[in-house]
């Protein structure tokens, strides 16, 4: 059991595989007629979202409810936060209300860590995305999806040793890329980053990755997985590429590029997609695409995370 899930940095192979195996068990329960488990009955989970999100918020809500937790969803818009209330005040208010777990999404990198270490609340904290820092449950569901596609019902106990993953696009602003780098490499995969020079972080010396600026070269290398990232215009404060058309030409996964991939290669995207910009619609809808599987697998993975964080002594 863990007190919090803030980051995938520091994950060991064994911890990653164990959490993915629990997610397998949780996913199996979702194929039954009665999908609810009594595991977190009597536990209160607050979804504390300071940023807009649809799929992540709904996924966490579904996961918590299927574990029989009581769920409170808090949106910063129209709340006391919009009137100037601080994160500390919000956390202390939720503590006074008896929150056992808090799932937080925030525009500031490190917000989840602050909440977990400040002493403002005794709740278990799950990071649902903080600024450009990390998004650990997205990385977990991506790893789960890759493992499931490769090994099917024989996935339990397996890592991703020997899997080559190419991550393409807005690496600079991507918390999904960072969480995937730490988790996928801990599980034995190799990770290669491809982006325009302006969208590659300048300091990647300590990262267990290789980097490049040529997508065609990466595609022709025959990777097992190509993970396309959304161009995050809302986080861009300046022009990082001349035009959308030029970006799509040089860094979009077109039908022609996808056709050059090995037949077994997977195409992933964390969503929401900019169709026609980072990925062609026909590629996103192709059999090699795992986009909808990632959404489906997210519920079982987040059930496993909530179980891991909250089903120990805190929930007792």
Pick the CATH number of 136-290 from 3.20.20.70, 3.40.50.1370, 3.40.50.300, 3.40.50.12240: 3.40.50.1370
pLDDT, tens digit, 9 for 90 and up, residues 220-244: 999 999 999 998 765 444 567 878 8
State the pLDDT confidence band at 312, using cuts at 50, 70 and 90.
low
Report the range of poorest mean pLDDT among 70-84, 96-110, 255-269, 272-286. Answer: 70-84
Per-residue pLDDT band at 79 (split at 50, 70, 90): low
Choose, from 54, 83, 237, 243, the residue flagged as catalytic: 83
From 4, 106, 133, 135, active-site residue: 135
pLDDT at 234: 52
Instruction: Could you list the residues known to form a binding site for carbamoyl phosphate, using ranges.
Output: 55-56, 105, 135, 138, 271-272
**Buried residues in 33-54 as b, exposed as e (16+ CB within 10 A):** eeeebebbeebbbbbbbbbebe
d(CA 124, CA 269): 29
- Confidence label for 101 from pLDDT (cuts 50, 70 and 90): very high
41 assigned to active site: no
Domains 4-134+295-311 and 136-290 share a fold: yes
pLDDT of residue 244: 84
* Per-residue pLDDT band at 54 (split at 50, 70, 90): confident
Question: How far apart are alpha carbons 203 and 197 in whole angstroms?
Answer: 12
| Of residues 148 and 86, more confidently modeled | 148
The percentage of residues in the chain with a pLDDT greater than 70, rounded to a whole number, is: 92
Active site residue 135: yes
What long-range pairs does 253-258 form, CB within 8 A, spacing at least 24? 253/168, 253/215, 253/226, 253/228, 253/278, 253/279, 253/280, 253/283, 254/280, 254/283, 255/280, 255/282, 255/283, 257/215, 257/216, 257/219, 258/283, 258/286, 258/288
Does 56 qualify as catalytic in the annotation?
yes
Task: State yes or no: is 133 an active-site residue.
Answer: no
Domain boundaries, the chain: 4-134+295-311, 136-290
Q: What CA–CA distance (Å, rounded) separates 118 from 271?
A: 32
pLDDT value at residue 236: 44
Task: Give the pLDDT confidence score for residue 314 in this predicted structure.
Answer: 46
Q: Which fold has domain 4-134+295-311?
A: Rossmann fold (3.40.50)
User: Out of 39, 56, 121, 145, which one is annotated catalytic?
Assistant: 56
Distance between CA 257 and CA 77 in Å, rounded? Answer: 41
User: Which of the residues 105, 106, 133, 147 is marked catalytic?
Assistant: 105
Q: How far apart are CA 178 and CA 215, in angstroms?
A: 19
pTM reported for the whole predicted model: 0.94
Residues 292 and 145: their CA atoms lie apart, in Å, by 10
- 162-175: average pLDDT: 96
Q: What is the pLDDT of residue 235?
A: 43
Binding-site residue positions: 55-56, 83, 105, 135, 138, 175, 230, 271-272
When pLDDT is averaged across residues 188-213 and rounded to a whole number, the result is: 94
Q: How far is Cα 108 from Cα 96, in angstroms, rounded to an integer?
A: 24
pLDDT over 90 for what percent of the chain? 81
Average pLDDT, stretch 273-291? 96
The answer on pLDDT for 20 being more than 90 is yes
Q: Report how far Cα 193 is from the mean position of its chain's Cα atoms.
A: 17
Binding residues for L-aspartate: 83, 175, 230
Angle at 65 between CA 62 and CA 69, to 5 degrees: 140
User: Each residue of 140-166: pLDDT tens digit?
Assistant: 999 999 999 999 999 999 999 999 999
Distance CA 146, CA 290 (A): 9
pLDDT number for residue 81: 56
C-beta separation of 269 from 284 below 8 A? yes
Catalytic annotation present for 83: yes
- Provide the angle, in degrees to the nearest 10, between the axes of the packed helices 175-186 and 13-29: 110
Three-state DSSP class for 51? Answer: coil
Instruction: Please give the mean pLDDT across all residues of the chain.
Output: 92
- Tell me which residue of 83, 30, 88 sits closest to 301, measured CA to CA: 30
Report the distance separating Cα 191 and Cα 180, nearest Å.
Answer: 9
């Amino acid at each position: 059991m863990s007190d919090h899930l803030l980051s995938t940095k520091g994950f060991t192979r064994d911890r990653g595989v164990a959490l993915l195996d629990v997610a397998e068990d949780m996913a199996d329960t979702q194929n039954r007629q009665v999908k609810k488990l009594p595991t977190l009955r009597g536990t209160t989970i607050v979804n504390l979202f300071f940023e807009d999100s649809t799929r992540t918020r709904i996924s966490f809500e579904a996961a918590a409810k299927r574990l029989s937790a009581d769920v409170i969803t808090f949106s910063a818009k129209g709340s006391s936060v919009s009137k100037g209330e601080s994160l500390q005040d919000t956390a202390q208010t939720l503590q006074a209300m008896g929150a056992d777990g808090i799932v937080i999404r925030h525009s500031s990198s490190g917000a989840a860590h602050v909440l977990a270490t400040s002493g403002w609340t005794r709740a278990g904290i799950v990071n649902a995305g903080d600024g450009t820092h990390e998004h650990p449950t997205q990385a977990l569901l991506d790893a789960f999806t890759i493992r499931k596609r490769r090994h099917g019902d024989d996935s339990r106990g397996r890592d991703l040793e020997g899997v080559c993953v190419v991550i393409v696009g807005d690496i600079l602003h991507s918390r999904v890329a960072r969480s995937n780098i730490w988790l996928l490499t801990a599980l034995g995969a190799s990770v290669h980053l491809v982006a325009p020079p302006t969208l590659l972080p300048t300091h990647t010396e300590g990262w267990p990755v290789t980097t490049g600026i040529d997508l065609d070269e990466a595609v022709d290398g025959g990777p097992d997985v190509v993970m396309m990232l959304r161009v995050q215009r809302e986080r861009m404060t300046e022009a990082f590429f001349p035009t959308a058309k030029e970006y799509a030409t040089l860094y979009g996964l077109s039908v022609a590029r996808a056709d050059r991939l090995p037949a077994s290669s997977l195409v992933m995207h964390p969503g929401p997609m900019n169709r026609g910009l980072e990925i062609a619609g026909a590629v996103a809808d192709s059999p090699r695409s795992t986009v909808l599987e990632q959404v489906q697998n997210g519920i079982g993975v987040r059930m496993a995370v909530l179980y891991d964080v909250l089903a120990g002594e805190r929930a007792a």
